[in-house]
């Protein structure tokens, strides 16, 4: 079994983004008397940054355990995915720049009883993605073309069953 966490550096950067966003949107609402429509707009944006800060806190409190029988998150909202019950694997890439050089990936695992989403800032993310692809291959699950391309971008070789199964999950 291996234990994985989101690195402090990524979390601190996200906390910083949330803090700056809250200061720039919530600060004027609290300290000034802006026009009502402007205040509502800033308040809505402040709420978005507050939710982002809360999400970051949840990631900080969560650890991921990878075991031969499955993967699970331990924290405020625990989830468990058993490899022998895996139903779908999806790996998506979200670009932060037009040239697609910077961004992050999100691994979405679905099994009977739940779903687990992990993003690529997680320590040793590629190990979990590789194990999920192996489990998908063992179960004969098809992987979408986008997922296959993103896995190759991570350097993960696809098992024959998963790579030739066509577009699906």
pLDDT tens, residue order, the chain (169 aa): 999 999 999 899 999 999 999 999 999 999 998 899 999 999 999 999 999 999 999 999 999 999 999 999 999 999 999 999 999 999 999 988 776 677 889 999 999 879 999 999 999 999 999 999 999 999 999 999 999 999 998 888 886 544 444 434 4
**CA 31 to each of CA 19, 46, 158: distance values in angstroms, whole numbers, following the listed order:** 16, 14, 55
Query: According to the model, what pLDDT value does residue 97 have?
Result: 74
Tokens of 21: 């966003």
Query: According to the model, what pLDDT value does residue 159 have?
Result: 62
Contacts of 54 (CB under 8 A, 6+ apart): none
- Domain 63-163: state its class: mainly beta
Answer whether 67's CB lies under 8 Å from 6's CB: no
* Residue 116, burial from CB neighbour count under 10 angstroms (0-12, 13-18, 19+): buried
pTM metric for this prediction: 0.80
Query: According to the model, what pLDDT value does residue 161 have?
Result: 46
Query: According to the model, what pLDDT value does residue 85 have?
Result: 94
Query: According to the model, what pLDDT value does residue 53 have?
Result: 97
By residue count, the chain amounts to: 169
Query: According to the model, what pLDDT value does residue 4 have?
Result: 96
**CA 7 to each of CA 14, 45, 52, 86: distance values in angstroms, whole numbers, following the listed order:** 11, 27, 17, 27
> 3-state DSSP call for residue 42?
helix
Answer whether 16's CB lies under 8 Å from 33's CB: no
Q: In degrees to the nearest 10, what's the CA dihedral of 125, 91, 151, 53?
A: -40
């Amino acid at each position: 079994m291996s234990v994985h966490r989101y690195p402090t550096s990524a979390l601190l950067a996200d906390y910083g983004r949330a803090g700056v966003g809250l200061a720039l949107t919530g600060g004027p609402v609290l300290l000034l008397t802006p026009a009502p429509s402007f205040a509502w707009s800033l308040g809505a944006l402040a709420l978005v940054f507050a939710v982002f800060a809360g999400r970051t806190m949840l990631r900080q409190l969560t650890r991921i355990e990878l075991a031969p029988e499955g993967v699970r998150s331990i924290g405020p909202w625990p989830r468990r995915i058993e490899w022998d019950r895996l139903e779908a694997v999806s790996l998506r890439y979200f670009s932060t720049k037009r040239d697609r050089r910077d961004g992050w990936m999100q691994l979405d695992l679905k099994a009977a009883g739940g779903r687990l989403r992990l993003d690529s800032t997680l320590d040793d993310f590629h190990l979990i993605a590789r194990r999920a692809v192996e489990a998908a291959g063992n179960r004969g699950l098809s992987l979408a073309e986008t997922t296959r391309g993103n896995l190759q971008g991570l350097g993960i070789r696809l098992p024959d069953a998963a790579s030739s199964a066509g577009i699906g999950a």
